[in-house]
């Protein structure tokens, strides 16, 4: 188990398409569980392998109301229905959030941590997180879904830079930690 460094834009790996996992061997399993640790450490709802510099189709999801993280290999969004506007952030673009259109619900398919093929319908935050993470595997960032530049906005940075006193931001940092605006990563 290890915490991996999370790549940030404009790292080129974030724009690459990840490869299908052909066999879930020891190293792939270790990577997946390192991703779970990394996601937990960062306080995120999800993480894709591209974000830790590995171009394999692996995503991990931690739903706030679930005890264990979900681990998915070769995830696929089989069907989408409707659109809704949601607020989103990403660990690879720290300090920003934006409004994007996501599906109302999706049909999802993947191989889970027990190497079983799972198929289910997802909605709400789970659907949003799965769409966000599968996008990562295709080199897509949420900012690609913004209808206009105005829909991306800066939030308070957690660490202020020493000597940088030009901008004093007093917005409520706690808003990030409420379930209504959880970080999707």
Query: Is 156 one of the annotated active-site residues of the chain?
Result: no
Nearer to Zn ion, 36 or 90 (CB): 90
Nearer to Zn ion, 97 or 113 (CB): 97
Phi and psi angles of residue 135, each rounded to the nearest 5 degrees, phi first: -55, -45
57, 18 Cβ separation under 8 angstroms: yes
Q: Give the shortest CB-141-to-Zn ion separation in angstroms.
A: 7
Q: Give the shortest CB-91-to-Zn ion separation in angstroms.
A: 6
Q: Which residue is nearest to Zn ion (CB)?
A: 90
Nearer to Zn ion, 138 or 166 (CB): 138
Task: Choose, from 133, 150, 157, 168, the residue flagged as catalytic.
Answer: 133
Q: Give the shortest CB-140-to-Zn ion separation in angstroms.
A: 10
At 151 the three-state DSSP class reads: helix
DSSP assignment of 141-162 equals -GGGG-SSGGGEEE---SSPPT
Q: Which residues bind Zn ion (CB under 5 A)?
A: 90, 185
- Which pair of tokens denotes residue 59? 């995503």
What does the alpha-carbon distance between residue 58 and residue 61 come to, in Å, rounded to a whole number?
10
Residues labelled catalytic: 133
């Amino acid at each position: 188990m290890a915490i991996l460094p999370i790549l940030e834009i404009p790292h080129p790996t974030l724009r690459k398409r990840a490869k299908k996992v052909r066999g879930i061997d020891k190293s792939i399993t270790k990577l997946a569980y390192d991703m779970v640790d990394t996601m937990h450490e960062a306080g995120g709802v999800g993480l894709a392998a591209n974000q830790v510099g590995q171009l394999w189709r692996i995503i991990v999801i931690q739903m706030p109301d679930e005890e264990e993280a979900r681990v998915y290999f070769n995830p696929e969004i089989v069907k989408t229905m409707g659109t809704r506007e949601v607020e989103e952030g990403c660990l690879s673009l720290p300090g920003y959030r934006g409004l994007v259109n996501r599906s109302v619900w999706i049909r999802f398919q993947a191989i889970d941590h027990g190497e079983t093929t799972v198929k289910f319908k997802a909605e709400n935050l789970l659907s949003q997180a799965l769409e966000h993470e599968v996008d990562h595997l295709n080199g897509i960032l949420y900012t690609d879904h913004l209808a206009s530049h105005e829909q991306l906005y800066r939030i308070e940075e957690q660490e202020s830079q020493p000597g940088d006193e030009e901008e004093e931001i007093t917005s409520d940092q706690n808003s990030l930690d409420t379930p209504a605006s959880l970080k999707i990563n």
